[in-house]
Amino acid sequence: MTVPLIQLRGVTKRYGAGAAELLALKGINLDITAGEFIAIMGPSGSGKSTAMNILGCLDTPTAGQYLFKGAHVEALTRDQRARLRRRFLGFVFQGFNLLARTSAEENVELPLLYRGDRPAVRRAAARQALDSVGLHGWEHHTPAELSGGQQQRVAIARAIVTAPAVVLADEPTGNLDTQRSHEIMQLLVALNRDHGITVLMVTHEPDMAAYARRMVHFVDGQIAKDAPNPNPTLSMPAAVGSTETV
């Protein structure tokens, strides 16, 4: 039997105390196999973002177990969790989170800089990552010189430059028009399919979630539904308008 890449067992997250206590997660169990593409959905306050923060080693559970490749993440120190993030995880955010006065290439290099890689190694890896997301020739442009879709491609290149096992995408199409949203989703699908990267994506948008092969729905701090998507979207809709310009 294949051991899941990620296992959550009875994970609870509590904020505050007394009358101000908030139970954001109520003992959730979740198994994620390497190579999956999962859409995590649910209304505001459902616990999906809290779960993603725990999965991304940005927060720790109040109770329960989080196993990553068999290691108990909940028992790691802050520095050990940081090393796990740098080695195995990549992040894509709704707001892109790019450094404004820094070129696309330099933005993508950042995770490798934190890791201590040499400049020549960083530069070569960043250019390869940018090529892989369709931005060859845009290496020296700053975010102000790029469209929203291109900025998100830079963010994805930054997420994959370390060759992570998992990419965690938090509303990756939330700031994009319909055309660019579908383009970004097809890029995530290709990274998952062609490179075996596990993709965990939070989204409110059913048409974006439709690209995933599995959907996990959160309600009131619990997993209300966890089921495969029998018909994942394989191609971008033919007639999609776009108002974005570069």
Closest by alpha carbon to 188, among 49, 53, 91, 112?
Answer: 91
Number of domains in the chain: 1
Within-domain flag for 185 = yes
Q: Is residue 246 part of a domain?
A: no
The phi-psi region of residue 127 (left if phi > 0; otherwise alpha if psi is between -120 and 50; otherwise beta) is alpha
User: For position 242, what pLDDT does the model report?
Assistant: 40
Q: Which amino acid is at 61?
A: P
Q: What tens digit of pLDDT does each residue of 40-82 get?
A: 999 999 999 999 999 999 999 999 999 999 999 999 999 999 9
pLDDT digits (tens, 9 = 90+) for 204-230: 999 999 999 999 999 999 999 999 999
Q: CA-CA distance, 38 to 214, in Å (whole number)?
A: 5
Report helix, strand or coil for 119.
helix
What whole-number distance in Å separates Cα of residue 14 and Cα of residue 25?
7
pTM for the predicted model, two decimal places: 0.91
| 6 inside domain | no
Burial status of residue 230 (CB atoms within 10 A of its CB: 0-12, 13-18, 19 or more): exposed
For the segment 18-39, what is each residue's pLDDT rounded down to a tens digit?
888 899 999 999 999 999 999 9
Q: Say what the pLDDT of residue 246 is.
A: 40
* Residue-range definition of the domain harbouring residue 103: 35-59+78-228
In the chain, what percentage of residues exceed pLDDT 90?
Answer: 87
| Structure confidence at residue 18 (pLDDT) | 82
Strand locations in 33-190, DSSP E?
37-41, 63-68, 71-72, 89-93, 166-170
Burial of 123 (0-12, 13-18, 19+ CB in 10 A): middle
Model pLDDT, residue 244: 47
The answer to the question of residue 42 being in a domain is yes
Which CATH number belongs to the domain containing residue 143 in this structure?
3.40.50.300
With respect to residue 53, please indicate whether it lies within any of the assigned structural domains.
Answer: yes
